């Protein structure tokens, strides 16, 4: 007698974390980020528990959890920021990746501008910055020059964040392909608030 | 060279279209107000022409409304205004206008003749330079006397023949042209007809789709907006004149609580990224508590790009 195949590790994980559809979705996307895209320090933010904005209306509209984590490499660079980095000789890998917020969604979920705005209102204004003193072990000349450029770059980033010239708040939209014929594909799109010119791919 | 038409500009409303017939107005609106419209006119001989279209320029209701709201233009019911205008046009006005047209035609003919004359002289100068240079080269290369003599004897002949063939027919043509005024076909009916923005034929604000606030918002940020059919969206937003720039965004507007299919975000986002553009979704924010100043609508916009992962 052939027994039923073992459930996949993802199925096991989802069945262990509860039966609520939203939590299953969040778990699925978190799993994808951790093992497919190698993100680290992943967290789930549930609005009711740790809401930074205290307005009642926002909580009322917004109830889905967000995921945040640190990607292995930067996932978005604004075109003007890229120009600045080129001019000061900074490469992508010189800058430590920042924490990115991810919005988990499923393909047939209903959506509206209002919901989108509620997500962005819920997002914190400032992202945490990786500490500058992280690279103590490398003290040769070239990294010193890079560190000076980096300090200048972070100053510029703060300025750009205030004026929003390098884009406004941003979030990664993750959409899972579910239901009938769902093959487990998850797609990722960057959404930014405001009119942000496209990257030159 | 920048001509400014008399403001406000009349926008002709004909069979549910907003049309502009004056080239000065078209150039002015594009240059100063970032309104491009779509040229829809063909040559009379080629009604199936579908490229290089010309006047008239069709404006979308959004463009027309924006111009009217800014006080740059007004809408006029062209058919009735034209009929009544022609009826009330006096005999003296009519003959004066015809005389003016004829004078303009004469001016155009004279200008053309002068330009031809200048071109002809330049061409002749070039030819004589060329011939002189050639004969010098030949002389320098060939010191042999008898060949030189042959060239010398032939050169003036060549030269004069150039002069003759170039000179006589051209001058006779020029005299013909400057004699007859060119016939001018006026493209506008204002003038000769008089228009006032407060006249009985001026029309109310054009009806616009609900995407108008987003249109006006993007326009106020300096974007040029074009119809978006080519990329399956409502508008294409260009950061400058479309002749100089590629568009930055595929723009879609939505009501604040209108249900959006999430798949549409992916469709437009992926297409946009594929053609090096962003996808811009926006609309008027509906605040839950009604604020005192209802005039100041706040527009929320979101830009979307494929993350590439």
- What are the pLDDT digits (tens) for B269-292? 999 999 999 999 999 998 766 555
The torsion region of residue B247 among left (phi > 0), alpha (psi -120 to 50) and beta comes to: beta
Tell me whether A107 touches chain B (CB under 8 Å): yes
B15 shares its domain with B78:
yes
Among A13-17, A195-199, B245-249, which stretch is predicted with the lowest mean pLDDT?
A13-17
The pTM for the full model equals: 0.77
- Which candidate, B107, B234, B120, B205, places its Cα nearest to that of B170? B120
pLDDT, position B169: 45
For helices A141-163 and A79-87, what crossing angle results, to 10°?
Answer: 150
Specify the 3-state DSSP secondary structure of A136. Answer: coil
pLDDT, position B172: 43
- Band of the pLDDT at B163, cuts 50, 70, 90? very low
Is ipTM > 0.95 here? Answer: no
Query: Which comes out higher in pLDDT, residue B110 or B94?
Result: B110
What's the mean per-residue pLDDT of chain B? 83
Mean pLDDT of B63-73: 93
Segment B22-42, tens digit of pLDDT: 999 999 999 999 999 999 999
B57 shares its domain with B70:
yes
Output the six-digit token pair for B27. 């150039």
- Is residue A186 over pLDDT 60? yes
CA distance A62 to chain B (A): 14
Q: Do B256 and A195 touch (CB under 8 A)?
A: no
- Is residue A15 over pLDDT 50? yes
Q: Do A116 and B281 touch (CB under 8 A)?
A: yes
pLDDT, position B173: 47
The total of other beta-carbon atoms located within 10 Å of residue B293's CB is 6
The total of other beta-carbon atoms located within 10 Å of residue B221's CB is 11
Chain A residues 134-153 within an 8 A CB cutoff of chain B: none
pLDDT, position B141: 66
Q: Does residue B186 lie within any of the structural domains?
A: no
- Is residue B68 over pLDDT 90? yes
What kind and span of H or E run contains B303?
A: strand B299-306
Q: Does residue B183 lie within any of the structural domains?
A: no
B82 shares its domain with B202:
yes
pLDDT, position A179: 65
CA distance A75 to chain B (A): 7
- Band of the pLDDT at B94, cuts 50, 70, 90? confident
- Is residue A132 over pLDDT 80? no
Segment B122-149, tens digit of pLDDT: 999 999 999 888 888 777 765 555 555 5
B84 shares its domain with B119:
no
Q: Does residue B181 lie within any of the structural domains?
A: no
pLDDT, position B171: 44
pLDDT, position B175: 46
B219 shares its domain with B150:
no
Query: Which comes out higher in pLDDT, residue B224 or B200?
Result: B224
Output the six-digit token pair for A148. 């000076």
What's the mean per-residue pLDDT of chain A? 79
Please tell me which residue in B34, B217, B248, B277 is annotated as part of the active site.
Answer: B277
pLDDT, position A56: 45
Q: Which residue of B has its CA nearest to A73?
A: B309
- Is residue B93 over pLDDT 60? yes
B198 shares its domain with B66:
yes
Is B277 a residue of the active site?
yes
Q: What's the structural domain count of chain B?
A: 3
B49 shares its domain with B138:
no
Is B219 a residue of the active site?
no
- Is residue A49 over pLDDT 50? no
Query: Which percentage of chain B shows pLDDT scores above 90?
Result: 49
B214 shares its domain with B73:
no
- Is residue A137 over pLDDT 50? no
Among A34-43, A62-71, B262-271, B293-302, which stretch is predicted with the lowest mean pLDDT?
B293-302
Alpha-carbon gap, residue B120 to B127, rounded angstroms: 11
User: Which residues of B fall within a CB distance of 8 Å from A187?
Assistant: 266
Specify the 3-state DSSP secondary structure of A1. Answer: coil
Q: Does residue B69 lie within any of the structural domains?
A: yes
Q: Is the peptide bond before B296 cis (omega within 30 degrees of 0)?
A: no
Interface test with B, best of A100, A113, A121, A186 (most B CBs within 10 A): A113
Q: Does residue B197 lie within any of the structural domains?
A: yes
For residue B160, the enclosing domain spans 99-176
Alpha-carbon gap, residue A8 to A31, rounded angstroms: 12
B8 shares its domain with B65:
yes
User: Which residues of B fall within a CB distance of 8 Å from A25?
Assistant: none
Alpha-carbon gap, residue B132 to B123, rounded angstroms: 14
B215 shares its domain with B202:
no
Q: Do B307 and A75 touch (CB under 8 A)?
A: yes
B198 shares its domain with B221:
no
B39 shares its domain with B55:
yes
User: Which residues of B fall within a CB distance of 8 Å from A189?
Assistant: 265-266, 269, 304-307
Tell me whether A190 touches chain B (CB under 8 Å): yes
Segment A77-105, tens digit of pLDDT: 888 888 888 888 888 888 888 889 999 99
Please tell me which residue in B28, B217, B238, B248 is annotated as part of the active site.
Answer: B238
Specify the 3-state DSSP secondary structure of B250. Answer: strand
């Amino acid at each position: 007698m052939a027994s039923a195949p073992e459930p996949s590790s993802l199925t096991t994980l989802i069945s262990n974390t509860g039966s609520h559809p939203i939590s299953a979705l969040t778990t699925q996307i978190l799993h994808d980020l951790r093992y497919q895209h190698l993100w680290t320090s992943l967290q789930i933010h549930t609005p009711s528990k740790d809401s930074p904005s205290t307005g009642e209306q926002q909580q009322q509209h917004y109830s889905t959890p967000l995921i945040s984590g640190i990607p292995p490499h930067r996932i978005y660079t604004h075109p003007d920021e890229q120009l600045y980095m080129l001019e000061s000789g900074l490469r992508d890998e010189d800058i430590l990746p920042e924490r990115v917020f991810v919005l988990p969604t499923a393909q047939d979920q209903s959506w509206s501008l209002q919901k989108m705005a509620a997500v962005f209102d819920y997002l914190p204004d400032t992202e945490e910055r990786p500490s500058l003193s992280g690279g103590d072990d490398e003290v040769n000349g070239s990294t010193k020059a890079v560190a000076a450029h980096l300090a200048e770059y972070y100053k510029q980033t703060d300025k750009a964040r205030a004026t929003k010239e390098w884009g406004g708040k941003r979030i990664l939209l993750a959409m899972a392909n579910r239901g009938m014929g769902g093959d487990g594909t998850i797609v990722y799109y960057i959404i930014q608030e405001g009119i942000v010119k496209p990257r030159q791919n | 060279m920048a001509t400014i038409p008399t403001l406000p500009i009349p926008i002709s409303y004909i069979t549910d279209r907003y049309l502009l017939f004056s080239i000065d107005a078209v150039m002015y609106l594009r240059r100063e107000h970032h309104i491009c419209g779509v040229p829809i006119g063909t040559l009379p001989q080629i009604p199936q022409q579908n490229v290089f279209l010309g006047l008239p320029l069709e404006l979308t209701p959004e463009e027309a409304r924006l111009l009217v709201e800014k006080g740059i233009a007004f809408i006029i019911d062209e058919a009735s205004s034209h009929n009544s205008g022609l009826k009330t046009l006096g005999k003296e006005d009519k003959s004066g206008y015809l005389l003016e047209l004829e004078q303009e035609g004469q001016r155009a003919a004279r200008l053309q003749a002068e330009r031809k004359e200048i071109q002809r002289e330049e061409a002749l100068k070039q030819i004589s330079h060329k011939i002189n240079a050639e004969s010098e080269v030949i002389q320098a290369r060939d010191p042999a006397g008898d060949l030189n003599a042959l060239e010398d004897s032939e050169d003036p002949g060549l030269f004069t023949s150039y002069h003759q063939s170039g000179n006589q027919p051209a001058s006779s043509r020029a005299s013909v042209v400057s004699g007859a005024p060119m016939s001018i076909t006026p493209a506008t009916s204002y003038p000769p007809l008089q228009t006032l923005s407060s006249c009985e034929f001026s029309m109310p604000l054009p009806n616009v789709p609900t995407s108008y606030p987003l249109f006006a918002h993007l326009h106020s940020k300096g974007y040029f907006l074009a119809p978006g059919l080519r990329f399956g969206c409502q508008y294409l937003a260009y950061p400058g004149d479309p002749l100089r720039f590629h568009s930055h965004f595929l723009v879609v507007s939505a009501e604040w609580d209108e249900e959006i299919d999430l798949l549409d975000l992916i469709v437009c986002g992926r297409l946009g990224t594929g053609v090096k553009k962003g996808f811009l979704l926006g609309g008027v924010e509906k605040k839950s508590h009604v604020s005192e100043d209802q005039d100041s609508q706040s527009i929320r916009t979101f830009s979307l790009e494929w993350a590439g992962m």
